[in-house]
Amino acid sequence: MKISAIIPAYNSQYFILDAIQSIQNQTHPVDEIIVIDDGSTDNTRLILEKKANDIKYIKQKNQGPSAARNTGIKAAQGDWIAFLDADDQWLPDKIEKQLIILEKSPELQLISGDMQEIGINNELITQSVLAKHHQLTQFQNNQSLPIKNALAELVNKNFIPTGTVLVKRAALIEAKLFNTAIRFGEDLELWAKIAAKHPITCLPEILMLRRLHSQNATSSTMPMLIDLVKVMQSIRHYSNDILIAQTIDADKLVANAWANLGYGYFINEQYQQAKSAFRYSLKEKINQRALGYFIACVLPRQIINLIRRTKQALTN
């Protein structure tokens, strides 16, 4: 088997060399490193040109990380693909540990893992993201075997950090790669498509260091909530029968996504947008939360604000 490591890079001059070095330091080497420069305007290109003998460098106009990863997948020679963002790092035995699991369960098409979160100066912020989300024990008990009802687990809580993934290229192609129409949650959509058809697992060991800073994509709450509706709609369209078999109500998933978006608008006092989102939630599935907030949105703004202030005073 051949492994291609793909790094999307945009204005990554400060961290890109650390990312590349962490791949080169693997105890089991990858076969190629592909860096897609997604229209950087800083010194990223100059830095990468100096690494020409170590990487395959592709320059494209700025289209976002999903498009950059797709470019890398299409250019890859490996039959297995691994991803790493330009400001993150792999631990040295990341690939080796995943290949050991693959030897034990060759039917697997995707293997993810745990990660730590670090700051700008490499200070440790989160010891284990799986533990942070109360999932570590669950995956330790699973012993890296194929996850039963993996799709249901994913839509409940995405446990797959993209930078920990080792995935079969054919499975990515079959799932039509990353959806570039979705900016937030496109990874969950893709992993869900793969989990709906193929065995996957999560290795409960630290494979990656994820750097937290102000430019991380996940810092934009409202765009995330908007795109999460699209993600759940897509997963329902693609995998409804499998969700039903795994005792998941797909309509409820979409309704909850609309309700979460409505609540985001509501707390930002965007009551017309909130009312519209709660209406869509109720059309998908009648639920008490959306109904209560929909009624609240119909009230005069002064009454809404009075109720909010009263609630805040009672909870403080």
CATH number of the domain within which 49 lies: 3.90.550.10
Q: Is residue 204 part of a domain?
A: yes
What is the pLDDT at residue 302? 79
Query: Are residues 136 and 260 located together in one domain of the fold?
Result: no
d(CA 285, CA 275): 15
Question: Residue 218: its pLDDT value, please?
Answer: 44
Same domain for 106 and 154, yes or no, is yes
Q: What CA–CA distances, in Å, run from 81 to 73, 177, 193, 264, 283?
A: 7, 12, 16, 36, 40
Does 128 share its domain with 267? no
Is residue 157 pLDDT above 60, yes or no? yes
Q: Which helix (H) or strand (E) holds 93?
A: none
Which band of pLDDT confidence, cut at 50, 70 and 90, is reported for residue 307? confident
The enclosing H or E element of 222 equals helix 221-245
Euclidean distance between the first and final Cα of the chain, in Å?
58
28 and 130 fall within a common domain: yes
Q: How many domains does the chain have?
A: 2
Is residue 204 domain-shared with residue 307, that is, in the same domain?
no
The residue out of 218, 234, 268 marking a domain boundary is 218
Which residue, chain included where needed, has tokens 């060399």? Answer: 17
Looking at the structure, tell me whether residues 148 and 285 fall in a common domain. no
Residues 6 or more apart whose Cβ sits within 8 Å of residue 288: none
Residue 189 forms part of a structural domain: yes
**Alpha-helical segments (H) within 109-185:** 129-132, 136-142, 150-156, 169-174
Q: What is the pLDDT of residues 176-197, one digit of tens each?
A: 999 999 999 999 999 999 999 9
Determine, yes or no, domain membership for 92: yes
Q: What is the domain extent for residue 273?
A: 249-315
In 3D, which of 76, 31, 95 has the Cα closest to residue 169? 76
Is residue 64 domain-shared with residue 213, that is, in the same domain? yes
Instruction: Specify the DSSP class assigned to residue 12.
Output: -
The answer as to whether 304 is a domain residue is yes
Per-residue pLDDT at 299: 86
CA triplet 238, 242, 248: central angle to 5 degrees?
105
Residue 272 to residue 214: CA distance in whole angstroms? 30
Measured distance CA(129)–CA(116) in Å, rounded: 6
Cβ neighbors of 131 (< 8 A, separation 6 or more) are: 114
Name the residue with higher pLDDT: 310 or 162.
162
Q: Indicate whether 78 and 187 sit together in one domain.
A: yes
Q: Which amino acid is at 167?
A: V
- The answer to whether residue 236 is domain-embedded is no
Whether residue 271 sits in one domain with residue 177: no
Query: Domain check: are 64 and 207 in the same one?
Result: yes
Whether the model clears a pTM of 0.85, i.e. scores above it, the answer is yes
Other beta carbons less than 10 A from residue 306's beta carbon: 12
Question: Tell me, what's the pLDDT at 214?
Answer: 62
Say if 302 falls within a structural domain. Answer: yes
Q: Are 150 and 296 contained in the same domain?
A: no
Are 73 and 204 found together in one domain? yes
pLDDT > 70 in the chain, percent: 96
Query: Does the pLDDT at position 215 exceed 60?
Result: no
Which among 218, 237, 263 is the end of a domain? 218
| Strand-pair category, 124-126 with 110-118 | antiparallel
